[in-house]
């Protein structure tokens, strides 16, 4: 009979219990024993929920103390050399040191998990001697069986994916590293087999990207080695986020199951099965419920898909599952009491997706009639949203159609704009600035909460925000920054803030998802046509500018980032959503300029993460993403300086698109990748203003002047000093005031050293 499964469940808890436990432990408010007990309680609660809902095959080892890739590295004793690790099980202090940095050692690089908004810690192989420090999947399996009687499915990141996502080795060392890792994986798998484990899920999402023939040869070597060493173990080779790039190679591997994504990779995976069939001796893990989206599935449509699949695969060799881990969606809609009925009825978070999987499995096994009432309710809920007035605004649709038919561009070339802007602002060589936000202290958060609860009136709250602006304008002047910001104290989140002020958005109460470590975000829901209603940022920015003679940047989040960091409607193309956002934000840019704000930053940190995994789809995405940014910014005067910001990504393959955005200044994160991005500019000329982040704001450590000076010196070997800015990596919202001021003072000192060393007449 068909069975149900998921590839992973959210770690954070319905009320972010996981996050709160982590932060209490880091703050010294929880002893390690109590901390571990709290996390076990959370983990068992999640397993019990899946068990009670009727999921047949429940994943274990998908839970993490921080990040699953870091877990894998720690399991193999792969610890960066700078942490002086000497072997054995990695203690929590070291584990979190790798992720967050310590007083003496910088954190490991953090980057996007494929094209999602989740970030993983990049393993550093240089100098490591891998060994099995502890069998984490086995520990998780035993816990689930002993505590809850669950015959769990251990989840492990596959060797090829792990290696491809690691750094610190040369391409010529790939096979040598696989030679070290394969025996360790075999040890893990043999111990699982000896324990009586029935299924192991080995995640190899790397196979949905373009691989070389050598890599496919490595994949065969890996799984042939596993099959020879552990012939009794059922391995589900799991892919997700897209279609398998070489279906024919994947299905020939000596594994017992193949997991395919029939949501984001539906068309290609279906075509491959139709053309080549599916092996009769294998189980198909059919990922038909979207693990990344929040919308209720059309059960009728999904049954049609399953009917297609069962024409190739017998039902008793079918596992009906999520398209990827449910890590990427909130936990439950049960507590969402404030949404419009037509919206709430059309949502499905992790728990509701479990219900969908159980229903579909029941229908496949016992017939569609057994879920007739649920099918009717599902279609009624989806139809209510489709016909909602929020999704059918002709004024927005017509205006955006007219704008998107044009090619937006600034009226003057960058060289002329740059000269006009320099004449206006008279900035020194290597201008200093920050990315936008300043520390959101407990006092700031309490004030916002008091205002939202109605305990403070608007006048009280606005007065408090102005006090914070006054304080930080003075601090920025005292530190010596050249271009200031108002600090964004009125903003909870860089996307949520704008979504609350634009039509077409909705906000959940508990729709949190993990972004990195304990950092959780509550993405807005774009469920209707997006429209500008009134100025959103003018008041605070104009007030800040009135308090200083130095320029203050207006701060906006760009259209692509708002889209990529929101849960978006799935009834129209993402390109059209981006253009609706761009049209709305253009009106805000124009309002800032009309209010006398001459520098405007439109942040686009998430452009790279939206890049399709398939190479042949990337150019089209970048073309309309660039167009949306230019649509937002193209109408300003030559003297109005447009800034943007990007972070957490590899940019070497999209430098041309970044330049095509035509921002006067771009700031890019580089410190966590230890300046590796600079190599991109050694290979590619960049002709616009640029600031490469000179210190990592995600670590609590205060970087030394020498570290930043070294980063500046290397950047100036390949970038034009006349166009170079100096800034931190990202916004400073999550940092403390003392460390923020200390780090910025060091940054300004490093800048003064650079100005002395490069004291040339650049203007």
Q: Residue 745, annotated ligand binder?
A: no
Q: Residue 674, annotated ligand binder?
A: no
CB 591 within 8 Å of CB 600: no
The residue among 38, 74, 62 whose CA lies nearest residue 144 is 62
Tokens representing residue 724 in the block: 């170079």
Q: Residue 542, annotated ligand binder?
A: no
Q: Residue 519, annotated ligand binder?
A: yes
Q: Residue 18, annotated ligand binder?
A: yes
Do the bridges between strand 199-203 and strand 519-521 make them parallel or antiparallel, or are there none, so unpaired? unpaired
Q: Residue 647, annotated ligand binder?
A: yes
Give the active site residue among 46, 264, 328, 698: 698
Measure the CA–CA gap between 334 and 326, rounded to whole angstroms.
16
Q: Residue 378, annotated ligand binder?
A: no
Q: Residue 245, annotated ligand binder?
A: no
Q: Dihedral, CA atoms, 15, 21, 22, 28, nearest 10 degrees?
A: 150
Contacts of 620 (CB under 8 A, 6+ apart): none
Measure the CA–CA gap between 704 and 727, rounded to whole angstroms.
14
Q: Residue 410, annotated ligand binder?
A: no
Distance between alpha carbon 64 and the CA centroid of its chain, in Å?
Answer: 17
Tokens representing residue 54 in the block: 């009727």
Measure the CA–CA gap between 202 and 188, rounded to whole angstroms.
12
Do the bridges between strand 641-646 and strand 599-603 make them parallel or antiparallel, or are there none, so unpaired? parallel
CA distances from 254 to 113, 200, 242, 283 (A): 27, 14, 22, 12
The single residue listed with the structure tokens 């609860």 is 453
CB 553 within 8 Å of CB 433: yes
Q: Residue 520, annotated ligand binder?
A: yes
Q: Residue 199, annotated ligand binder?
A: no
Number of Cβ within a 10 Å radius of residue 645? 27
Tokens representing residue 14 in the block: 């319905």
Describe the strand order of the beta sheet including 553-557 as a list of residue ranges.
553-557, 599-603, 641-646, 665-668, 689-692, 724-725
Q: Residue 113, annotated ligand binder?
A: no
Q: Residue 143, annotated ligand binder?
A: no
CB 560 within 8 Å of CB 112: no
**3-class DSSP assignment, residue 257:** strand
Measure the CA–CA gap between 605 and 693, rounded to whole angstroms.
13
DSSP 492: S
Please give the full DSSP string across 605-630, using - where no structure is assigned.
TTTGGGS-SSHHHHHHHHHHHHHHHH
Q: Residue 549, annotated ligand binder?
A: no
For 291-349, what is the HEC assignment?
A: CCCCECCCHHHHHHHHHHHHCCCCHHHEEEEECCCHHHCCCCCCCCCCCCHHHHCCECC
Query: 698 catalytic, yes or no?
Result: yes
**Binding-site residues from annotation for L-homocysteine:** 435-437, 488, 603
Binding residues: 16-19, 112, 435-437, 488, 519-520, 565, 603, 609, 645, 647, 669, 730
- Which residues are marked as active site? 698
Residue numbers in the known binding site for Zn(2+) are: 645, 647, 669, 730
* Residues that constitute the known binding site for 5-methyltetrahydropteroyltri-L-glutamate: 16-19, 112, 519-520, 565, 609
């Amino acid at each position: 009979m068909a069975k149900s499964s998921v590839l992973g469940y959210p770690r954070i808890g319905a009320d972010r219990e996981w996050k709160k436990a982590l932060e209490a432990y880091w703050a010294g408010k929880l002893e390690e024993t109590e901390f571990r007990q709290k996390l076990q309680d959370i983990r068992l609660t999640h397993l019990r929920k899946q068990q009670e809902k009727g999921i047949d095959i429940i994943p274990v080892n998908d839970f993490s103390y921080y990040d699953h890739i870091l877990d894998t590295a720690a399991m193999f004793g792969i610890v960066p050399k700078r942490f002086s690790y000497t072997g054995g099980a990695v203690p929590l202090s070291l584990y979190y040191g790798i992720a967050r940095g310590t007083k003496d050692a910088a954190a490991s690089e953090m980057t996007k998990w494929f094209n999602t908004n989740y970030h993983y810690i990049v393993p550093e192989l240089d100098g490591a001697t891998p060994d099995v420090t502890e069998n984490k999947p086995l520990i998780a399996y035993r816990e689930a069986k002993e505590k809850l009687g669950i015959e769990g499915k251990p989840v492990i990141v596959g060797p090829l994916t792990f290696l491809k996502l690691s750094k610190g080795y040369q391409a010529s060392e790939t096979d040598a590293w696989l030679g070290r890792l394969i025996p360790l994986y075999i040890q893990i798998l043999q111990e699982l087999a000896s324990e009586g484990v029935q299924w192991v899920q080995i995640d190899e999402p790397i196979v949905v990207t373009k691989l070389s023939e050598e890599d496919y040869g490595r994949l065969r070597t890996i799984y042939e080695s596993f099959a020879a060493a552990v012939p009794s173990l059922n391995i589900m080779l799991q892919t997700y986020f897209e279609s398998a790039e070489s279906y024919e190679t994947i299905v020939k591997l000596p594994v017992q199951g193949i997991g395919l994504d029939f949501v984001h990779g539906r068309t290609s995976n279906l075509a491959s099965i139709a053309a080549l069939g599916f092996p009769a001796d294998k189980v198909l893990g059919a990922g038909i419920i979207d693990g990344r989206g929040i919308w209720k599935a059309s059960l009728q449509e999904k049954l049609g898909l399953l009917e297609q699949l069962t024409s190739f695969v017998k039902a008793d060799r079918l596992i009906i599952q999520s398209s990827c881990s449910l890590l990427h969606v909130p936990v439950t809609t049960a507590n969402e009491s404030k949404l419009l009925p037509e919206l709430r009825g059309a949502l499905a978070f992790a728990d509701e997706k479990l219900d969908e999987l159980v229903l579909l499995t029941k229908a496949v096994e016992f017939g569609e009639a057994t879920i007739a009432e649920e099918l009717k309710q599902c279609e009624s809920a989806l139809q209510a949203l489709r016909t909602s007035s929020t999704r059918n605004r002709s004024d927005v649709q017509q205006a955006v159609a007219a704008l998107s038919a044009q090619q937006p561009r600034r009226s003057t070339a960058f060289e002329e704009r740059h000269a006009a802007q320099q004449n206006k602002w008279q900035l020194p060589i290597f201008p200093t600035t920050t990315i936008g936000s300043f520390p959101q202290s407990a006092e700031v958060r309490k004030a916002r909460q008091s205002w939202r609860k109605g305990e403070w009136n608007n006048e009280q709250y606005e007065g408090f925000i102005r006090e914070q602006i006054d304080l930080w304008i003075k601090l920025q002047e005292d530190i010596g920054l050249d271009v200031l910001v108002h600090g964004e104290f009125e903003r909870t989140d860089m996307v949520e803030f704008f979504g609350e002020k634009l039509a077409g958005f909705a906000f959940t109460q508990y729709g949190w998802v993990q972004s990195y470590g304990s950092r959780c975000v509550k993405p807005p829901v774009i469920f209707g046509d997006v429209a500008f209603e009134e100025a959103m940022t003018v008041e605070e920015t104009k007030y800040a500018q009135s308090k200083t003679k130095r320029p203050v940047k207006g701060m906006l989040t760009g259209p692509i980032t708002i889209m990529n960091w929101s849960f978006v409607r799935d009834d129209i193309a993402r390109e059209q959503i981006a253009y609706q956002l761009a049209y709305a934000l253009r009106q805000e840019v124009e309002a800032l300029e009309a209010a006398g704000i001459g520098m405007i930053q439109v942040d686009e940190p998430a452009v790279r993460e939206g890049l399709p995994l398939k190479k042949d789809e990337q150019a089209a995405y970048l073309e309309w993403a660039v167009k949306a940014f230019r649509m937002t910014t193209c109408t300003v005067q030559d003297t109005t300086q447009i800034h943007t910001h990007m972070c957490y990504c590899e940019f070497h393959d999209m430098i041309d698109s970044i330049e095509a955005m035509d921002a006067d200044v771009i700031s890019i994160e580089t410190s966590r990748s230890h300046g590796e991005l600079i190599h991109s500019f050694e290979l590619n000329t960049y002709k616009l203003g640029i600031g490469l982040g000179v210190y990592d704001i995600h670590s609590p450590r205060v970087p030394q002047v020498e570290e930043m000076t070294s980063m500046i010196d290397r950047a100036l070997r390949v970038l034009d000093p006349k166009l170079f800015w100096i800034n931190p990596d990202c916004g400073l919202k999550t940092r403390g005031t003392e460390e923020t001021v200390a780090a910025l003072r060091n940054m300004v000192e490093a800048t003064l050293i650079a100005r002395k060393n490069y004291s040339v007449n650049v203007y």
